[in-house]
Homo-oligomer: A and B are copies of this chain.
Amino acid sequence: MTYCVGLLVDAGLIFMSDTRTNAGIDNISTVLKMKTWEVPGERFLCLMSAGNLATTQATISLLDERTVAPSERQPAILSQPTMFQTAKLVGETLREVISGASGPQAQTPDPMFSGSFILGGQIKGTPPRLFNIYSEGNFVEAGEDNPFFQIGEHKYGRPIIIRTYDRKMSMAECAKLLMVSFDSTLRSNLSVGLPLDLQFYERDSYQAGLRTRITGEDPYYKTISAGWSDALKSAFDALPDFNPEAWAEHEEAELATV
């Protein structure tokens, strides 16, 4: 499995991905699931992947090859006019790979080869945009009402994002939020693993922001992981306890007024 999150905020885009890959639970390794391209001053793209690793790697390799030699192998990911066209190209390449892996006899793509992507970035003259691209090659875009995407093992880390996300957050606050969300997931599910990759993209910068790999030994990660447990316990303790007597009285009062 995998866990990746892309957040769209006023300040820009923030991406985080884990690095665990497994074929069976006794065949675990570390793999990069975050790929970036940039033309400084013109565009920045970040692509995070989940699903069948052969599929997602092949898709990225194709996109990459076609970028290196754009004259012969159009269309190149770095020559698309808009982020929408970029998402379309990623989706089409993904569908091409899955269709190839399924074989010429397959009536429909084999679900075994499915994969998905989060794509975010900005091209000069257009705003930052964030997309969730499906196995079928189609995609949805983040907006005011759904300003973030998660792919992979997304459930454990979702409640904290839902309750805390605010589009006015700074990049630093977003990084903290993502670390908490990933830490909750890591503690609950073995198929998501450290280290984590973090990428900042600042609005209108048209170049990669901070990029770092977070291991379990990083002091900040350790502070967040331990601090969040303590903070949660304190927050929990501060809530009023359930009072069975009051509850019984409340129920009787309700019955009395029926």
Contact = CB atoms under 8 A, between A and B. Distances in A.
B164 A233 contact: yes
Interface string A151-179: 00001111110111000001111011101
Nearest to A186: B159
A187 interface: yes
A156 to B, nearest CB: 5
A176 to B, nearest CB: 5
Interface in A43-84: none
Interface stretch (A27-35, A101-109, A138-146, A218-226): A218-226
A179 B187 CA distance: 21
Which of the listed residues A212, A241, A251 has the most CB atoms from chain B within 10 Å of its own CB? Answer: A241
B248 A210 contact: yes
A86 to B, nearest CB: 26
A162 B188 contact: yes
A220 B242 contact: yes
Given A176-B240, A220-B243, 7 more contacts: A155-B155, A163-B187, A173-B241, A180-B239, A212-B247, A218-B250, A223-B239
B250 A219 contact: yes
Interface of A: 155-160, 162-164, 170-173, 175-177, 179-180, 184-185, 187-188, 200, 210, 212, 218-220, 223-224, 227-229, 231-236, 238-244, 246-248, 250-251
A239 B251 contact: no
A180 B185 CA distance: 17
A162 B238 CA distance: 18
A240 B225 CA distance: 11
A70 B146 CA distance: 56
A132 to B, nearest CB: 17
- Max chain B Cβ within 10 angstroms of own Cβ: one of A163, A176, A224, A251: A163
